Amino acid sequence: MERLIEACKKNDRKAQEQLYRLLASKMLHLCLRYASSTFDAEEMLQAGFIKVFSHIHQFSGAGSFEGWVRRIMVNTAIEYCRKDFKMERIDQLSDQEYLNSGFVEINHLEARDLLDMVQELAPGYRIIFNMYAIEGFSHREIAETLNISESSSKSQLSRARVRLQEKIKQMEGAYHGIRK
């Protein structure tokens, strides 16, 4: 991998293509979680790889290269989503309501079903759900990144969870209806 990275730093097109082929599938899956369509995810992926190759000389070798690329992809996806980002008008939740907004049990769902459900969320819900639940951002980091309050981040996450719970229950109900 080190040789490939060094070749990419020298703008070697074949090395860049090889690196792209090596990481594109994983990074596309990441982008799909943020995007509302496959087209948008592919746009995010392309923009992200342009940044990777433009800034590859900044990769110092400390830590995982794939992790470095992943961070660029997440930031690119967030930037892309910000264009259409509109927070839904919601009332602030109390801390107790937030703590009680856990997840329902998932028995018969495939990963693709869950990805589809996340993609169907409103953009604000989808971004915050991905940043918090998938990428591990704190509410403070989300608030700073999106220029919102921490309580808005918590509320949006809670509402995203509620929407996902509703979709999961509907799908589980449909699954049990088919099996009867």
pLDDT tens-digit profile of 104-120? 344 445 667 777 788 88
- pLDDT tens digit string along 8-56? 999 999 999 999 999 999 999 999 888 888 898 999 999 999 999 999 9
Looking at this protein, which amino acid is placed at residue 20?
A: Y
Asked if the 95-179 domain carries CATH number 3.40.462.10, the reply is no
pTM over cut 0.85: no
How many other C-beta atoms can be found within 10 angstroms of the C-beta atom of residue 132?
Answer: 20
- For 97-109, letters b (16+ CB in 10 Å) and e give ebeebeeeeeeee
Q: Give the class (CATH, top level) of 2-82.
A: mainly alpha
Residue 87 has pLDDT above 70, yes or no: no
- pLDDT tens digit string along 28-40? 999 988 888 889 8
pLDDT at 103: 45
Domain ranges of the chain: 2-82, 95-179
Looking at this protein, which amino acid is placed at residue 57?
A: H
pLDDT at 174: 61
Return mean pLDDT, the chain: 81
Query: Euclidean distance between the first and final Cα of the chain, in Å?
Result: 52
7 or 89, which is more confident: 7
Q: How far apart are the C-alpha atoms of 168 and 113, rounded to whole Å?
A: 9
Q: Got the DSSP string for the chain?
A: -HHHHHHHHTT-HHHHHHHHHHHHHHHHHHHHHH-SSHHHHHHHHHHHHHHHHHHGGG--SSS-HHHHHHHHHHHHHHHHHHTT------PPPPHHHHHT--PPP-SS--HHHHHHHHHHS-HHHHHHHIIIIIT---HHHHHHHHT--HHHHHHHHHHHHHHHHHHHHHHHHHHHHHH-
Report the Cα 33 to chain-centroid distance in Å. 4
